[in-house]
């Protein structure tokens, strides 16, 4: 058995026999904690792995993998009713450049969100009953279009946001070319959103 140092993909960890400390018995408590969750722990404390576990647990496309991934675990023995019931959309802000002019950072963030929305559209393409529009320079409009399509299905959207804290810190700590204040970067927060897991 291997120790999964630096490995944050739950599927790889489970399928390749890495050691995993089973805390899936907490999933029922997380579901009862509310619709918007935020996890505040230091770096290297397993937040990314936790989000990956949530992604595999709630993703409706992974229903046929449930027994292989979760069967021997606590939640596999006592699953909640919500397992594999959601469209999953994941944003990873570690992939977004947090330096340069404010316009460059905004463009990079909009691009990442649009890329992830495009992947979500492709992953669940058989479920959509209406066209979903991607707006290259306005990812929030793209998100609204996706949510409109989600509302026409029997499922909901589970939004996972990773590395938001480090991204925000890098933006605020970066040099300010031209005297611009990066803390004044507006218009990038989805309506009603908070970091962590969000059911919409």
The answer on pLDDT for 198 being more than 70 is no
Domain-terminating residue out of 50, 67, 84: 84
Are 156 and 200 in contact by the 8 Å Cβ rule? The answer is yes
3-state secondary structure the chain: CECCCCCCCHHHHHHCCECCCCCHHHHHHHHHHCCECCCCCCCCCCHHHHHHHHHHHHEHHHHHHHHHHHCCCHHHHCCCCCCCCEEEEEEEHHHCCCCCCHHHHHHHHHHHHHHHHHHHHHHCHHHCCCCCCCCCCCHHHHHHHHHHHHCCCCCEEEEEEECHHHHHHHHHHCCCHHHCCHHHCCCCCCCCCCCEEEEC
Domain-terminating residue out of 84, 99, 123: 84
User: Quick one: pLDDT at residue 181?
Assistant: 52
- Say what percent of the chain tops pLDDT 90: 60
pLDDT in tens, 52-81: 999 999 999 999 999 999 999 999 999 999
Q: What is the mean pLDDT of the chain?
A: 85
Q: Per-residue pLDDT averaged across 159-182, rounded?
A: 70
191: how many CB neighbours lie within 10 A of its CB?
A: 9
Domain-terminating residue out of 26, 59, 84: 84
Copy the structure tokens of residue 145: 């279009």
User: Quick one: pLDDT at residue 200?
Assistant: 41
Place 197 in a pLDDT band, splitting at 50, 70 and 90.
low
* Distance separating alpha carbons of residues 94 and 103, to the nearest angstrom: 18
Does 29 share its domain with 106?
Answer: no
Name the burial class of residue 31, with classes exposed (0-12), middle (13-18) and buried (19+) by CB atoms within 10 angstroms of its CB.
middle
Q: Per-residue pLDDT averaged across 78-102, rounded?
A: 92
Does 110 share its domain with 100?
Answer: yes
Does 136 share its domain with 60?
Answer: no
User: Domain range spanning residue 51?
Assistant: 1-84
Provide the whole-model pTM: 0.80
* Distance separating alpha carbons of residues 85 and 63, to the nearest angstrom: 8
Does 182 share its domain with 151?
Answer: yes
User: Quick one: pLDDT at residue 60?
Assistant: 97
Place 29 in a pLDDT band, splitting at 50, 70 and 90.
very high
Copy the structure tokens of residue 150: 């989600």
Does 133 share its domain with 45?
Answer: no
User: Quick one: pLDDT at residue 83?
Assistant: 97
């Amino acid at each position: 058995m291997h120790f999964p140092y630096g490995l944050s993909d739950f599927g790889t960890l489970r399928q390749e026999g890495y050691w995993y400390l089973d805390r899936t018995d907490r999933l029922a408590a997380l579901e009862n904690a509310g619709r918007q969750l935020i996890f505040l722990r230091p770096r290297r404390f397993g937040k990314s792995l936790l989000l990956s576990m949530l992604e595999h647990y709630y993703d409706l496309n992974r229903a046929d993998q449930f027994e292989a991934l979760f069967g021997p675990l606590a939640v596999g023995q006592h699953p909640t009713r919500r397992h594999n019931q959601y469209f999953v959309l994941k944003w990873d802000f570690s992939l977004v450049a947090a330096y340069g002019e404010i316009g460059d950072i905004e463009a990079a963030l909009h691009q990442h969100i649009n890329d992830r929305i495009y992947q979500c559209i492709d992953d669940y393409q058989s479920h959509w009953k209406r066209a979903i529009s991607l707006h290259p320079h306005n990812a929030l409009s793209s998100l609204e279009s996706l949510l409109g399509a989600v509302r026409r299905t029997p499922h909901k959207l589970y939004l996972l946001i990773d590395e938001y804290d480090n991204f925000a810190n890098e933006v605020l700590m970066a040099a300010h070319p031209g005297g611009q204040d990066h803390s004044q970067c507006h218009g990038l927060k989805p309506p009603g959103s908070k970091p962590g897991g969000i059911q919409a």
